[in-house]
Structure formats: C-alpha cells, structure tokens
Structure 1
C-alpha cells in the first residue's frame, strides 16, 4: 500500500536539520528528512492524526527519544527498516500505539530502552536483527506479539521485558543471554514454548516461570542454570535433547525430574547445599556431574535406593553425603570419582552394591566402613585413606580396588572373602600388615595382589579349602598336593622351612631378605623355573631326594648361594639339571657334591627340550 506523504516542515527541525523536536502537523502520513539524526522526546506526542511515517532515502537517524510517538493511537506500522544507523529506541517511544500491527527494525539497532516502549501495541510478529543487544525494562509490556526469535547478539532482557504478552506462544533464544531480569515473561498466560540456545547460560531473573503461564514448556540442548529458587516459581515441563525421556519437569528446587518426581536427572541451580526430596528413589546417570555443590542432605525417611553411573563425578567441592540411608542399595560406576573433598563413607545396609571406580581419586577420603565387596578400582587413588572396614558377607576384593592408597597401613580381610584379584593393593606403599581370619573361604588370590607394597611385612597365617598361609608364604591346595605360589618378598623372614609338593614360578621373586631355605624330606617334587628369581641374598638351599625336577633358571641371579649345599641325588643327569637351574658348577664341586668334572662335559638335553649344551661351558 502506498501513501501520499507530507514532508515535515523545516521549522520542526534544528538549524542544522539533525534534530526533530516537535511535530503538530495533522497530516495522516508524514515523511522525515534524511538529515535528521535524533527524534526528540515527545516529538509526535499524542498526535492522534498520524497513521504512518516514512523517511527520505538514506536516512541518518540514530536515536528515537522517550515518548516520541506516545499515544499515537491511529499509527498502524513502524517501518524503521531503512534507518541503518538507528542505535536506540528510548523508553515509551511507541507507548499505547494500539493499532500498530507490524514493526520493521533496521539491522543496526542495538537497544530498545526501558519503560513501555511498545506498550499495548497489537503487532503480532517482529523481526529483531543480529545487531540488537538489549531489550529494556517493559519494552514489550502487554504487547500482542505472538512469537519472537532473539538473535545471538541480544545479551540483556531487562525487568518485565515481555511482561503480560498474553498472546505470546513461543520464544526462541538463538544465543546465550547474559542477563534476564525479573518477570521478563511473567503473565504471558498463553506461552507454550521457550527454546533455549545450543550453549549454556544462566537465568537470574525471578519469576521466569510462574503460575500465570500454566502451559509453558522449555526445550534445551545444553544445561542451563537458574540462579535461585524464585526463578522457577512452579514446576514446568521440559524437554532435553540428550536425555531420552518424555515426561521431564524442572521443579521449584531446580531439579530435573520425571513427572512422578521419583527420579533426578540433573540439578540446574547454583545453590551449594541441597536436600534430596524424600520421594526420590533414583539419582540418574551424570545427574550432578561437575556440580559445585558442597553438601547433599536427606530426610530421615528418604527412599533413595539407586545412584547411577557418574552421578556425582567430579563434584570437587562435595564434602558431605549420607551413605547410611536405609533404602540405598546401589552405587554406580565412577559415581563419586574425583570428589576430592569427600572424607568419610559409611554404609548402613549390607546389601549395598558399590560398582567399579565408585570412589576413585577421592584424595581426602580417610574412613570407609561397612562396605560389602570391593570392585575394580573402587578406592583407587584415595591417597589419604587410612581406615577400611570390609563387611562380613563380602566375597570379592577386585583388581586395583585399593591401588595407590598410600596412607593405608592395615586391613582386615573378612572370612567370607573368596577372591583377592591381581593388583588389589597395588602401590599401597605404607601398607604394613594384612590380616586374614584364621579359617576363611578364600578360593583365589593373585601373586600380584600386593605388587608395589614395599612396606608390607606381614600376612597373617590362615587356611581355607583352597589356600593356606604360613610364615608369609601362600600355598594353593588341590587333590594333587600343596603348591607354594607366593612368598612376601618384603617380609622380615630370613629362614623358611618348606613343606609342599611344588614350588611355583616366581613364588620367591626378589625375596632379598631370605637367607636360608630348608626343604623338608619327602615333600617337594618340582621346583619350577624362576621360582627363586633374583633372590640376591639367598645363601643356603637343600635338595632332598623327593625333588625330582628343578627347571631351568629356577635360581636365576641367586649369586650368594654357598656351602653347605646339600644335594642328595648325585647322579650325573641330576647334577647337570641343578647346574642349569642357576647354581654355579664350581660351587657344586667346591661344596663336595660331585667330583668327576670330565663326566660333565657330555652333551645333555634338558627335560626333552631342544636345547643341547655343554655344561663344561656353562657358568665357568
């Protein structure tokens, strides 16, 4: 539609034509000079005759002053699209322009200032360009706008920015807003959808969601924080792209929950102390991950039973959490990993399942009590852990469950434990003593369970159907006999009497405190290879007639062996086997075990292996 525009009289402008001060022309369609840079306050104030205005080509307008089109009740359109230099629309500029149905902003506009700038205008759509930064106080107060998309450039929405926009159905944030004031969307009775940007942001204004907006739902692709409980004044529906759940809500306490409020999927507040509602049964995966919370509280009758994987991972300020809840029965993988201020863990129920790495790297954790079963890496890296109470009924202590617990000095293994896995106590450098109940249920223990425990001096004597420990030496038992599998190489034992069927490979690995080994008669039949690997201080060993086989390198790097050396079987092949095990040929002669060296020069094939050698050339 085209109109016949009347140029505004020059007398209405300043001498240089840059400022338009007051217009009383009753022509319905007015044209503003291209020279004009400022439309002064109240310039068209209550000009009831004005229906539309336009500009000469290439206008230089930068500012529309306060109340400049105040109560221009017949004005139907704000076409500012050609004013590319326009930066500011001041307060109440288009206040009560009831008939305006369309607004066209220029691309350079930065700010719509406060106080009813478009109060009660009836336009239904608006396009805000990507230069716009601020929506002022009550800018769109009680306007008839239906939907709005706020570009990435918008960083502030002041108090009541869209207050009372009863026709508004949806709002889209295309970028993070730095500040949203109080009541920004309050009393938008028909608001149905607020779409948040693909980046995190903080909403600080009170009553962002309130009772006068009963249908509103918020849609998120990133976690968004709300600064206080007054921001979300009533529970509201939400959809979150990375949570595959259709009935999510955000509560007034800023928990993301299912509609029944029994599951917590996240916490989107900024408070550091929280109370979990008593009807919550499950804290879902990653719900509080990386949160700044200090303390989690529970009601006495809490129904919490499940904490899923990673639920509190890297809550680096969390120092208090009550694990003694009666209903609690499951704690997921890495659920409290890297909670570096957590100091104490005590479980009430013996039925609590604590999964792998649940408390890994909780470096200030000191006390753990009443835990049932310790799974892989559960307390790995808890460098200040000093007291551990493993509950009776526990069956397993798994791989690396206490790895790098540098402050742990003592631990009691309950009689119910059946499996102690490899590296269970890896690098527990101050662990001095491990006590097993004298009669227990042990079915499997690894030779590497105590690797790196350089201060460990004592493993208590015990016996089960499958194992026994005597003098820090562990034997595996089966129907064919007892197998010596492990001797504690940091024990203070200097002399050891051995009564078993087989001495297994690496069972005395680097046992540098052992000086004297006595194999009792009619016991050992086989000494496996590397059994006494690198026992640098071993001086005396005997070979009773029961020892039928001594495998190659059984005494590898055992350079301190000396006379008396007792070898009861002096047959030539047997002596050759002893030499190949690592005991020097010269020592055998020196100790008077065998005298005819010429017979040792014949080739010998050891245990059917394809290794032929001249013993006269071996270890000269």
Structure 2
C-alpha cells in the first residue's frame, strides 16, 4: 500500500514539474488565428497556446499552411474561462498536459487522430461532470479524469483502462456503456466485462451500502472496489471463484467479510486497509490460495480462525487482533503472517503445524531508532513438546508453555 501511495505522489510531483514549462526551450513561437505554435518540420505544427478571449475554442487543423499534429502543455493558460474546446482530426499527439488549469472547461471534443486519451488529460478540469468517451478512443491512461466527474459513458471502441477510473474519482456515481462496445457492459451503474462475468469497477460515489454480487459473476476485478466510501456489506454468490489483487483495498466502511467455500483465489492485498472490519469468516477449501497482505490492516478485527494461506504478511498490521484459533488443517504459518499485531500475546500451536516462517508471530516493526523488527513484550507460545511451536519459541527466545 505504501508503494502505491509513493507512485501516486511521484505522479503528482511530475505533473507539477511538467506544468511549469509550456513550450520547448529555444523554439521560435509563431502566432496565427489567436493561437501560438511552433514548427515541427515537414509543414507540421504544435499548438503551444490559445491567446484569444472566446469561451468556445476550435483548434484549426492548419496554421499558416502548417498542419496541426500536436498539442502542447497548458495551452489555455492565457484564458482560464474557456468552457468548450474542439481538437481537429489532424492532431495525432498531446505532448504533455494540454488542459492544465482549465477549471471551467465543460466540453472537450477529441479528433479521430487520437486513439488513446493520455495520462491526467482531464485531471484539472473541475467543471467536467459528465463525459462520453469518443467512439474512436481505444484506451484510457492513468488519472485521466477529474475527481468531480459524476458519470462516465464508455464508447464503442474502448478496450482498456490503464487504471480503474474510480481510483481518482471519489464522486463518480455511474458507468454507462455503448451497446456496441465489445469489451465492457454496465448494470446499475457498475462496470463489467462484456458478458458480465467480471466486475471491473464499482463507482466510488455510488452511495449504496450493500451489494449482492450477481450470480453470473465469477471474478471480482483488480481494484474494482478500491477506496469505496459507502459500502458496508458484500455478499458473494456461489459462482465467485476469484478476488483479484487490491479488489477491496481501503474500503473504509466495510464492516464484515464472509468468504464462501466456492472462492479459490484471493490475490495480494485484496482486502488490505479495510479498517472497519470487525468480523472475518473464511470458509476455505483445499484449493484456496490467499496472497500477500490480503487481510492486512483490519484494525477492528479482534479474533480469527486461521485459514490455510499461501502468502506472507496475510494478517499483518491487524492492530487489535488478540486471539487466533489454528485448526488442524493448517500445516504452515507463513513468514510475517501476523507481524505488527501487538495485542496478539498468546498463541496455541497445534501438533499439525509443521512449519512456522520467519517473524510470523510475536514481532512488530521497530521504530526508526530500533532494529527492523522487535519482539512483542510478553509473547507466549502454547504447544506440544518437540513441535514446530516449541522450536519457534526457542529459536526466537519466546516463552513456551507445554501442553500436556
């Protein structure tokens, strides 16, 4: 999770740096028809600024007999009152952030020369409430839309989102999809794949507190419910098999999680950061695979029946977890599985556990002036003589209480 936040911070810093330099250094700037531009060679031009006063702007396909093929950074910096802008079909490339600072922009028409809307394209367009992706657009970059967007309509040619649009759009209430699109569909404002077997994105602005996953769905997509603000309960149908990575990341009001026996894959950090979860039930079958940090940072969780897992850090940073029951089908406790669970003071290890991984029990991350990992004060293992529990206790200097 910290890595994800670091990437987002780096992107924000990059945007700030880019926005400072609107034109290429040393290039000669020409003026024509209320536009500034530079020549690119071969009778091609890049628009660098609109210098007119109109609130409706039509970028011409030619300036002084030079075909406009590129749009530069921050082109509306001299007129922040523009509400509508049209880019011609001749434009093949948006160089950087062309609409940076255009906070009053309500309508943007992108010509057919563009097949992908680039990263952060509408990020600063705070007046944009609804947007229909043009029918010729095939893919969408990262952080494209402003957080004010409320409705997004997917055009017929769109194949791919580089990033699920709900991540940066806390007010998005609904997705709509062109009936001619071959890759996506929608139902009740939720974005699915075409045949509705996979949930792609659940709008962060949708205020429903409960959802029953439709029976046809077998996969909950990556980041599909991430940062959802209103959802308190999710009921999985009998056909769901897979929950992809970070699917429910930081769902702040989700209060309980019940994993039915039909689910066989829970990928890394699937429910990480769901800090309101106080009850977790995992009805695991023999095929269940639970990935790295899948249930980390469940800060209200106090007790747990431990399932079979196949990843590290699965229940790390559950700050209030104070009791775990390990059933006989659990053979391995993986590395760092319960690291940073400071209230987990005593753990009973059954004979059936054959392996306990590094720092899996009884450790927390140290402060900046301490070692990387420090022991939980008073941590005790209860177990059987000669067992993996006794071995782990001796290797780590923990108190061991023998069960007779």
Q: TM-score range by the shorter chain?
A: 0.5 to 0.7
Query: What is the aligned partner in structure 1 of residue 153 from structure 2?
Result: 369
Counterpart CA distance in 1 for 2:54 and 2:310 is 67
Given candidates 382, 392, 404, the residue that maps to 1:606 is: 392
Q: Give the unaligned 5+ runs of structure 2.
A: 1-20, 185-200, 363-377
Query: What is the aligned partner in structure 2 of residue 430 from structure 1?
Result: 230
Contact 2:345/2:379 (8 A) holds in 1: no
Shift of the 507–384 alpha-carbon distance from structure 1 to 2, 3 Å rule, reads closer
Mapped pair 1:517 → 2:305: yes
What is aligned with 1:384?
Answer: 171
Measured in 2, the distance between the counterparts of 1:317 and 1:474 equals: 47
**Structure 1 partner of 2:205:** 407
Q: Is the 8 A contact 2:130 2:150 kept in 1?
A: yes
Instruction: Report the CA distance between 1:272 and its aligned residue.
Output: 2.2
Partner residue in 2 for 1:250: 31
Deviation for aligned residue 1:433: 7.8
* Residue 108 of structure 2, aligned match among 321, 338, 354: 321
Length, aligned pairs only: 328
Question: What CA deviation, in whole Å up to 9, does each residue of 1:574-613 have, x standing for no partner?
Answer: 7999xx946x99996xxxxx7xx9x69xx94329x95344
Alpha-carbon deviation of 1:346? 1.2
Relative to structure 1, is the Cα distance of residues 538 and 505 closer, same or farther in structure 2, using a 3 angstrom cutoff? farther
Q: 1:525 to 1:475 in 2, by over 3 A?
A: closer
Q: Where in structure 1 are there 5+ consecutive unaligned residues? A: 1-221, 224-239, 395-401, 460-468, 478-482, 589-593
The structure-2 alpha-carbon separation of the partners of 1:304 and 1:537, relative to structure 1 and needing over 3 Å to count, comes to same
Listed one character per residue, the Cα deviations across residues 369-391 of structure 1 (whole Å, up to 9, x for unaligned) are 21643335967654433224587
Is 2:128 aligned against 1:342?
yes
Contact 1:276–1:296 (8 Å) recurs in 2: no
- Indicate conservation of the 8 Å contact 1:484/1:507, yes or no: yes
> For the Cα contact (< 8 Å) 2:68–2:90, is it kept in 1?
yes
* Secondary structure of 1:429's aligned partner: coil
Quick one: which of 62, 82, 96 aligns to 1:294? 82
- Tell me, in whole angstroms, the C-alpha distance in 1 between the residues paired with 2:249 and 2:318: 16
Query: What's the secondary structure of 1:420's corresponding residue?
Result: coil
Give the drift of 1:506: 3.7
- Offset of residue 439 of structure 1: 8.3
User: Shift in Å at residue 311 of structure 1?
Assistant: 0.9
Judge conservation of contact 2:80–2:104 (CA < 8 Å) in 1.
yes
- Which protein has greater RCO, CA pairs closer than 8 Å, 6+ apart? 2
Matched residue, 2:294: 507
> What is the aligned partner in structure 2 of residue 6 from structure 1?
none
Q: Are the counterparts in 2 of residues 392 and 416 from structure 1 also a CA contact under 8 Å?
A: no
| Partner SS state of residue 605, structure 1 | helix
Shift of 1:420: 3.0
- Aligned to 2:161, the other structure's residue is in SS state coil
Q: CA deviation at 1:285?
A: 1.9
- Change beyond 3 A, Cα 1:384–1:374: same
Call closer, same or farther: CA 1:355–1:440 in 2, change over 3 Å: farther
- What are the residue-to-residue correspondences of 1:118-157 with 2, within 5 Å? none
Question: For the residues of structure 2 that align with 1:437 and 1:304, how far apart are their CA atoms?
Answer: 47
Structure 1 distance, partners of 2:37, 2:398, is: 76
> Does structure 1 retain, via aligned residues, the 8 Å contact 2:44–2:69?
no
**Would you say 1:615 and 2:400 are equivalent positions?**
yes
Q: CA deviation at 1:286?
A: 1.0
Report deviation, 1:339. 1.7
**Alignment partner of 1:308 out of 95, 107, 117:** 95
Label 1:337 to 1:606 Cα distance change in 2 as closer, same or farther (>3 A). same
Tell me which structure has the larger Cα radius of gyration: 1
Partner of 2:222: 420
- After TM superposition, the structure 1 = structure 2 runs for residues 105-254 of structure 1, keeping only pairs within 5 Å, are 242=25, 244=27, 249-254=30-35
Tell me by how many angstroms 1:353 deviates: 3.2
State how far apart, in whole Å, the 2-side matches of 1:561 and 1:492 are.
Answer: 20
Q: 1:547 aligns to what?
A: 330
Secondary structure of 2:57's partner? strand
CA distance in 2, matches of 1:437, 1:250: 62
CA deviation string 1:60-103 (max 9, x = no partner): xxxxxxxxxxxxxxxxxxxxxxxxxxxxxxxxxxxxxxxxxxxx
